[in-house]
Chain A
Amino acid sequence: MSAYGADLLALLPELIIAVTACLVIALDPITPASRRDLLAWLSVGALVICLGITIGQINSVNTRVSAFSELVVVDAYARFWKILLCSVAGLTILTSLPYLKAERIHLGEYYGFILLALSGMMVMVSGVDLLTIYLGTELMSLSLYVMTGLNRSKPRSLEAAAKYFVLGAFSSGILLYGISLLYGLAGSTKLASIASAIGSRGSDDPLVLIATILVAVGFGFKIAAVPFHMWTPDVYQGAPTSVTAFMAVAAKAASFAAFMRVFVEGLGGLKADWSLLFLLISVVTLVLGNVVAIVQTNIKRMLAYSSIAHAGYALIGFVAAGRGVGLSGGTPGLASIMIYLAIYSFMTLGAFAVIGMLRKGGIEGEEIEDFTGLAKRQPLAAFLMLIFMASLAGIPPTAGFIGKFYVFMAAVEADLAWLAAIALVFAVVSAYYYMRVVMVMYMRDPSPSSVAPPRLVTSPTLSFVLACAVAGVILFGLFPNPLVSFALQSVLTLK
């Protein structure tokens, strides 16, 4: 037992989250409905402790510590993502509290599932063994399937859960197949062994290429890259809004984190091949995401396509990393993805928090038209939404510009100025649909009808979430230095 002591201590944050998840699920049946808030606060408490420990590790453990016979590592790269994921999970719980009550689906196990998904994500970002990463992915996905179908009275929610489950299981199968092929040629599922096996077999081995493509497809589903994006709009629209926010932000960030580690540490020898593959995927992703978002009338669906497009932008950083030459290698590209996703998290969470607040009578107002004239009725909320939309469109001085700036900087450095130009042209396309939300809020008067106009239901926790989100969007836009240097330092531990 003492042999595992150090290993367990390294994984203390993950353990706390997993134990709290079980505790919440166990306590739920014996907690009276009126006191379910306590479960949420218990979860938030665990997240704060976990965040504290992870931040405390920044100075004490600077090196890469591996645990459990090198199945997982604790390094700066993993810590960057853990801090981001824990913050996102905490903000999601605070958004969910009022939202679930308003939707009458305030169930205690919901918080347990968020924590379970989070522990899966934390394993994903720190795993250096394909099977560990796979287990983390499955833990995350299974929790998300359940959360998507949480609103049992809504057929759309159930449909979304079923769709998500079928396609998710399918993609996991493909990922697993790729992993098994890699195991076949390396004799191990450890990323380091795979890297050395590829180094000795060369990159033109068809088996290596097929395995790489299968793994890429598997992750492509998780990050919702075209052509593996089909599930995204339906699932984002059908899931409860707080779950959608969690999926769009945390699940995407964790999948990107694991994906980057697998391709850089395990399949780095093939970067010439995969950078070409991801070049194609990133272009079609951002083109399709942005173009299809234009015609959406449901704001959750629109943000689903926009999240697809944002995955395309982040992938540009990955292509640049694969093409990276010289001393700095791929670091600017990889760091740009981390910066991009961190900023994306804040603005997307903020946007979904506003959407979750909007009530049309008893139900959720999720059509873009429901925002008509919001600036007149609730100027502050409309102004916050304006900031989130401007940031999503990448207009300075919001953080969204900083995110795009670093991605395009990496692309131009890797001699991909034309790719940056294409991506920026489609950023203009995206500005059209983001600004349409602003237009509806500020420039249209609500049609005079007998129905009461949709209104926002506020609560202290939601105000806190919105304050955090808008602070992130503005502060990282004006003073990006801390985030940038943190990302640049963290990415160095990725070998």
Chain B
Amino acid sequence: MTSSFPWLSLLLVLPLAGAVAVYLATESAARWIALVATLADLLVALPLWWLFDPQAVQMQFTEHVAWITAPPIYYSLGLDGISLPLVLMTAGIMPLCVLASWNAITTSVRGFMATLLVMETAMVGVFVALDFILFYVFWEAMLIPMYLLIGVWGGPNRLYAAIKFFLYTLAGSVLFLVAILVLYFYGGHTFDILALSQGTYPASLQMWLFLAFFAAFAVKVPMFPFHTWLPDAHVEAPTAGSVILASILLKMGTYGFLRFSLPMLPDASLAFTPLMVALSIIAIIYGAYMALAQVDLKKLIAYSSVSHMGFITLGLFVLNQQGIEGAVLQMVNHGITTGGLFLCVGIIYERTHSRLIADNVGLAAPMPQYATLLVIFALSSLGLPGTNSFVGEFLVLVGTFLWSKVATALASLGIILAATYLLWMIQRVVFGVPSPHHLPKLSDLNQRELATLIPLVVLVFWIGLYPNPLVSRMHQSVTNTIASMSRAKVAPTAHPSAGGTTESLLVGSREPLTAQGPSR
């Protein structure tokens, strides 16, 4: 269903207009303008959920306007079942980021809010761009706003963290640009992402291109061993920066793998699968172990992100329907859950001015509402059944099981470790006995803080209990991706003959599992 109304352009323009308005406004009005702009963007994004046709094979809400004539570059936008949830998540997270920064940001509020809004345009742009150069422009355009976000409004060691983030991600993406240009000349002189996904490229070329793509996406995810910028950036960034980073920015890496690496380079994706799975499992276990050792709450969540992002890359590279659908679902889930956790840390930091676990002990008594929500997000993060992450991680593990039982067993270790570090954190932060000289008078959540957290809690349970609307929307697009992979010389494993595999799994039928059988 192609709508003539330019929904996606409106999504891109609104935050930018908001940024201009914020820049011209006064400091006190800046917060309200930013809130209105992000909420307006969410209001534009929400109808897409219902207007989206889950059965359609093509991109929807497409826009196609010539931008540069030589070489042909288009302002080309579109949504499919993979980008729809991510766009909605981005639009949904941003108002929460504005709310979370309401009192936390005291210096140059206008600059901060304008930067947030510019980020929103760039991030939505990444998920809806269907032209490679347009995609790259959005992909890179968010570097400077993020650099400023960390470097200007961040913690004490912000300069180091900001430049490290900037250089890591820039270094990753420059080789990506060369790969795009090479693809242009091999793929029939076009930057059209969909056309390039249909082409076939020599296997040896695919290997090089895969490595170049990998450099960009693996840094962004971040995959082990390219993750070292993440803890620094998370710890130093202001709360809103951490939330954007964890919820949205990291997803761009996995989105890149799914949108470009798999369909365009099927042979290379298949050839690199063992390496990618190995790196994912290392990230899962290593990230979890590192999280165990952290004394800083933000660092703990940062390493847990490394571990959870490992599940997503694992699900993508086992190359079957269950794994990829689990991965897409998990992209959204991680955004919701980790976003919630970072918001919780921000809230407590505003009160105690410390992110150390030791300084924030025994919050259950003074802040019962806060403690409840923190426990919910932690349980969601460790994948408790009934919460969102359970569904995603379960699908990923099912997909992995079809690929290798050993890998599944190792990945499951990550879930056990997640339970360990999260429950241990909860035990200390929520139920610990506070030392008397710490803990100033703590007030429980105010209405603004509740407003930032409650929507996420609703999503945690909604996806956890009834994921079908979300999964059914992504189903066709994931099937497409797997179908385009079948151009590989060795077809990928476990291509479902009929649709509905995942849904039947979700309602509890075990048949598809045995029917498909282990292919490797």
Instruction: Report which A residues bind B (CB closer than 8 A).
Output: 375-376, 379, 386, 390, 395-397, 401, 405, 408-409, 412-413, 417, 420-421, 424-425, 427-428, 431-432, 435-436, 438-439, 442-444, 480-481, 484-485, 488
Chain B contacts for A420, CB-based, 8 A: 178, 181
Out of A396, A442, A484, which one reaches B68, CB within 8 Å?
A: A484
Complex CA gap A158/B144 in Å reads: 40
Complex CA gap A485/B136 in Å reads: 22
A396 pairs with B159, CB closer than 8 A: no
Out of A408, A417, A425, A431, which one reaches B166, CB within 8 Å?
A: A431
Closest A residue by C-beta to B168? A428
Can you list 17 residue pairs at the A/B interface with Cβ under 8 Å?
A: A401-B140, A405-B177, A408-B178, A408-B181, A409-B181, A412-B178, A412-B181, A412-B182, A412-B185, A417-B178, A420-B181, A431-B166, A431-B170, A432-B163, A443-B158, A481-B69, A485-B69
Instruction: Report which B residues bind A (CB closer than 8 A).
Output: 67-71, 108, 111, 133, 136-137, 140-141, 143-144, 147-148, 151-152, 158-159, 162-163, 166-167, 170-171, 174-175, 177-178, 181-182, 184-185
B162 pairs with A443, CB closer than 8 A: yes
Closest A residue by C-beta to B154? A443
Complex CA gap A436/B174 in Å reads: 19
* A-B contact number at CB 8 A: 89
In the assembled complex, the CB of B63 is this many whole angstroms from the nearest CB of chain A, namely 17
Out of A395, A409, A424, which one reaches B71, CB within 8 Å?
A: A409
Complex CA gap A195/B380 in Å reads: 75
Chain B contacts for A425, CB-based, 8 A: 171, 174-175
Complex CA gap A481/B74 in Å reads: 12
State the 9 A-B residue pairs at the shortest beta-carbon distance, nearest first.
A424-B174, A412-B181, A396-B137, A443-B151, A428-B171, A396-B140, A421-B178, A420-B178, A428-B170
Chain B contacts for A431, CB-based, 8 A: 166-167, 170
In the assembled complex, the CB of A478 is this many whole angstroms from the nearest CB of chain B, namely 9
B159 pairs with A443, CB closer than 8 A: yes
Complex CA gap A406/B147 in Å reads: 26
Chain A contacts for B174, CB-based, 8 A: 421, 424-425, 427-428
B178 pairs with A424, CB closer than 8 A: yes
B140 pairs with A439, CB closer than 8 A: no
Out of A386, A405, A428, A484, which one reaches B144, CB within 8 Å?
A: A386
Chain B contacts for A428, CB-based, 8 A: 167, 170-171, 174
Complex CA gap A17/B327 in Å reads: 66
Complex CA gap A435/B151 in Å reads: 11
B141 pairs with A397, CB closer than 8 A: yes
Complex CA gap A420/B184 in Å reads: 14
Complex CA gap A412/B186 in Å reads: 11
Complex CA gap A480/B143 in Å reads: 21
A435 pairs with B140, CB closer than 8 A: no
Chain B contacts for A435, CB-based, 8 A: 147, 163, 166
Assess A424 versus B141: contact at CB under 8 Å? Given A431-B166, A488-B70: no
Chain A contacts for B181, CB-based, 8 A: 408-409, 412, 417, 420
Assess A442 versus B178: contact at CB under 8 Å? Given A425-B171, A431-B167: no
A417 pairs with B182, CB closer than 8 A: yes
Complex CA gap A9/B182 in Å reads: 47
A390 pairs with B151, CB closer than 8 A: no
Q: A396-B141, A412-B182, A420-B181 are in contact. List 4 more A-B contacts (CB 8 A).
A: A421-B178, A443-B162, A481-B67, A484-B69
In the assembled complex, the CB of B145 is this many whole angstroms from the nearest CB of chain A, namely 11
A395 pairs with B141, CB closer than 8 A: yes
Chain A contacts for B159, CB-based, 8 A: 439, 443-444
